[in-house]
Copies of this chain bind each other. A is one copy, B any other.
Amino acid sequence: MVVVMKPEASQAEIDHVIKRAASMGAQTQPITGESHTVIALVGDLTQVQRATFDAMAGVQKTVRIQDPYKLASRTTNPEGTVIDVNGIRFGGEQVVVMAGPCSVESREQIIQTAVAVKEAGASVLRGGAFKPRTSPYSFQGLGEEGLKYLAEAREVTGLPVISEVMTVETIDLVAEYVDILQIGARNMQNYALLQAVGKTRRPVMLKRGLSGEINELLMCAEYILSNGNMQVMLCERGIRTYETATRNTFDLNAVPVLKRSSHLPVVADPAHGTGDWELVPPMSLAAVAAGADALILEVHPDPESALSDGDQSLKPERFADLMRSLRRVAAAVGRSIATPKESDDSAGMAGNKNRSTEETSKSAVLA
């Protein structure tokens, strides 16, 4: 950290900063420039708070130098972490496509969609049972009933399942039925929830909040990691900007930035990112070209009947078209699209793998 003194700061004020920094365990090095004195704080800064210095007389501002996250940093695992979910590997050579409806709406709808997305080549099934909705008067999801249908769809297809968990109290329930726990954008900074999923041993996909800085997303991952769960994936899903031509601004730049800063696998969600199904195919191709490890897409057999997000959902045929293009673009950047596991095997594998992956990715981190 660097403390920049005001041009008119007195020597006593400078000395006070130095003394205070020392009392927090930092080494200091004052540098006197033409107009300002700046004081660099180095060494162990875990006890140093920026606000303390910003509150001091004579201080103009403080500037952070080091990244605030540790376990999420690429330096912790320069090779990159691979998370194995029932044989589907996130963060490796293959690009994983997760697909399914925004909400689970009925037994038929989810099974029909699961079969269709598997046939087109998706290797993970998505579907929401608990839905965060802007309006208290909107459909809020089928809850446990939806989870059961998801589990049934998994049995039929062998596809592992990802679904959102919104509260601490329902983590156990959701974890009973799904393979990957999703933390939604609105809950990115719900620290109680992050700590609680950090205590499970289930892979977690953490979505960037609508106004989440990339550094903050990594700090939120740090909440999960520091509670012992090393199986975290990061998901870019659009940020809020002044532009209204798209519902959100899908910030694809976050993909290479996150890959550079962190060892965690990175997922792209162009459906929520743009909010517009016509933009999903080009931005999905772009995401793979930019280096995403996985995509999460919305597919619905009848988008205009969807109870949520029909406007950003693809029909199964369009999705199948997109999968063909994705394979070509993945090949062009030296990767391939992960293929779904056979259902008999994977159903059996699910339970075992789920337990064993914990060690896998932990050891990856420690490697």
Contacts and interface: CB of A to CB of B under 8 A. Distances in A.
Interface in A136-172: 136-138, 166-169
A239 B240 CA distance: 11
A45, A285, A307: residue with the most chain B Cβ atoms closer than 10 Å: A285
A310 B51 contact: yes
A138 B226 CA distance: 13
Contacts of A43: 33-34
Contacts of A291: 282
A40 interface: yes
What are the 3 tightest A-B residue pairs by CB atom distance, in nearest-first order? A211-B211, A54-B311, A33-B42
Nearest to A242: B240
Interface of A: 2, 4, 7, 20, 29, 31-36, 38, 40, 42-46, 49-56, 63, 65-66, 68, 75, 132-138, 166-169, 186-187, 189-192, 195, 209-211, 213-216, 219, 222-223, 226-227, 239-246, 249-257, 260, 273-274, 276-279, 282-283, 285-291, 303-313, 325, 328-329, 331-333
Contacts of A223: 136
A237 to B, nearest CB: 13
A35 to B, nearest CB: 7
A332 to B, nearest CB: 4
Contacts of A214: 243, 245
Nearest to A285: B289
A42 to B, nearest CB: 4
A42 B32 contact: yes
Given A65-B36, A333-B325, A308 B51 contact: yes
A71 to B, nearest CB: 9
A166 to B, nearest CB: 6
Contact of A65 (B4, B66, B279): B4
Nearest to A189: B186
Contacts of A46: 137
A187 to B, nearest CB: 7
Contact of A310 (B52, B65, B245, B283): B52
A329 B244 contact: no
